[in-house]
């Protein structure tokens, strides 16, 4: 059995290790938050990742074995019970649903730039986009050079202009926007086609490049989300 001196030494070493861990973890956490926010990551995503890292680090320092997490999936009977409750509420004339239950989650998965984009689309309506392709007879063997080029990011005033297409892809994933093959007014494409990024793509496409005109719209779900969650006059 360890002597009292030995126990004190163990305790002191443990205390020192813990103190060092707290300092090191604080520095790493601050750096991770700063980098994530600068990159436009969702605060919810950053907090989730930090929570996992901190739990693992604390268990390692304290010598505690990780606790196996219980599975979170609902059983078939639980899912049926929830579905039955939704149907019951749909038949209840006194039940009032203020907002869609997904809106809170969606707000946690948007960057500030993405919020500006969907508010812009809500205010200004569908926007023109173009794809740039190489020119081949009958379109056979035509190569896509750039897709979805637009002025949406610039007109919405986003900070990270080069991430506009990534933002639009996330908004599509969330069901807020959709990419249409339909054109808007033909005159609106002239301004898009003279933008530097479009001209650069056309120069890479070689002789007589083709531009395919498309458009981006808010979905009805996206319109309702904007009306509910984003102040249009901010």
Q: Which uninterrupted H or E stretch holds 217?
A: strand 210-218
Nearest CA to 174 out of 113, 219, 212 is that of 219
The pLDDT of residue 44 is above 90: no
Question: Residues with Cβ < 8 Å from 223, sequence gap 6 or more?
Answer: 122
Topology annotation, domain 103-229: Translation Initiation Factor IF3 (3.30.110)
Domain positions in the chain: 4-62, 103-229
Bigger pLDDT: 148 vs 32: 148
pLDDT of residue 119: 95
pLDDT of residue 73: 78
pLDDT of residue 14: 47
Read off the pTM: 0.61
The pLDDT of residue 215 is above 90: yes
Nearest-angstrom CA–CA distance, 164 and 232: 21
pLDDT (mean) for 79-97? 78
Name the β-bridge partners of 132. 146, 211
Name the β-bridge partners of 61. none
pLDDT in tens, 45-71: 656 665 666 566 555 545 555 555 555
pLDDT in tens, 119-164: 999 999 999 999 999 988 776 778 999 999 999 999 999 999 999 9
pLDDT of residue 60: 57
Question: Residues with Cβ < 8 Å from 154, sequence gap 6 or more?
Answer: 161
Distances (CA, A) of 32 to 21, 22, 196: 16, 15, 34
Distances (CA, A) of 173 to 9, 110, 129, 160, 165: 56, 11, 18, 19, 12
- Tell me what percent of the residues of the chain surpass a pLDDT of 70: 66
Bigger pLDDT: 137 vs 117: 117
């Amino acid at each position: 059995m360890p002597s009292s001196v030995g126990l004190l030494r163990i305790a002191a070493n443990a205390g020192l290790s813990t103190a060092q861990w707290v300092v090191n973890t604080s520095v790493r956490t601050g750096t991770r938050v700063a980098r994530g926010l600068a990159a436009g990551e969702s605060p919810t995503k950053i907090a989730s990742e930090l929570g996992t890292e901190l739990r693992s680090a604390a268990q390692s320092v304290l010598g505690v074995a990780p606790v196996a997490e219980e599975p979170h999936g609902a059983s078939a009977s639980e899912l049926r019970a929830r579905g039955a409750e939704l149907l019951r509420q749909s038949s209840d004339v006194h039940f009032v649903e203020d907002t869609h239950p997904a809106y809170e989650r969606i707000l946690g998965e948007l960057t500030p730039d993405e919020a500006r984009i969907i508010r812009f689309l809500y205010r200004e309506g569908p926007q023109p986009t173009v794809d740039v392709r190489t020119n081949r007879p009958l379109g056979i063997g035509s190569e896509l050079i750039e897709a979805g080029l637009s002025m949406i990011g610039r007109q919405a005033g986003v900070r990270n202009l080069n991430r506009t297409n990534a933002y639009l892809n996330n908004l599509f994933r969330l069901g807020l926007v959709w990419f249409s093959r339909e054109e808007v007014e033909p005159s609106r494409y002239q301004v898009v086609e003279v933008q530097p990024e479009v001209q650069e793509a056309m120069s890479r496409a070689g002789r007589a490049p083709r531009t395919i005109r498309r458009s981006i719209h808010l979905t009805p779900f996206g319109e309702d989300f904007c009306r509910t969650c984003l102040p249009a006059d901010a």
